[in-house]
Amino acid sequence: QEQLVESGGALVKPGGSLRLSCAASGFPFSAYYMNWIRQTPGKGLEWLSCISSSGKTTYYADSVKGRFTISRDNNKKSLYLHLSSLRVEDSAVFYCARAPIYDASTGPSYGLDVWGRGTAVTVSS
């Protein structure tokens, strides 16, 4: 069974940092581009970042570029998102998701076909 499980969400103070993890199972993790998406109560789903199957290429939404860093360890079948300089408005449920196809020109043209259940991050003093 293809599965993604996020972890690492926590309560953190503004300006703080956090690392989220996503453990994959049931599919050849190293063959796929992987993504992070967040959901806030007021704004719905927001795509944050993508990393190529090898980990050599990364993409970021303008809203998080420079503050969030995506990475992966194919040996551990794990995806990561390092969050820094956190703001109250970064509070959200963070999801990892698989992209069956990711084109440099058109992005995930086949959508995001496997998602985790999410991990909650709350930024508050």
Least distance (Å) between residue 123 CB and other proteins: 21
From residue 80, alpha-carbon distances to 35, 38, 72, 91 in Å are 10, 14, 6, 17
C-alpha dist (Å) from residue 120 to 34, 38, 95: 19, 9, 9
What letter would DSSP give residue 65? B
Binding span for other proteins by CB under 8 A among 12-20, 36-44, 67-75, 83-91 = 36-44
Member of 14, 15, 28, 111 binding other proteins (CB under 8 A): 111
Output the smallest distance, CB 14 to other proteins, in A: 25
| Selected binder of other proteins within 20, 70, 97, 123 (CB under 8 A) | 97
> How many angstroms separate the Cα of 45 from the Cα of each of 48, 57, 92, 94, 99?
10, 23, 10, 9, 16
Contact status, residue 60 vs residue 70, Cβ threshold 8 Å:
yes
Number of residues this chain uses to bind other proteins (CB under 8 A): 32
Under DSSP, the state recorded for 73 is E
Nearest-approach distance from CB 16 to other proteins, in angstroms: 26
Verify binding: residue 41, other proteins, rule CB under 8 A: no
Name the residues that contact other proteins, by CB under 8 A.
4, 35, 37, 43-47, 50, 59-62, 95, 97, 102-118
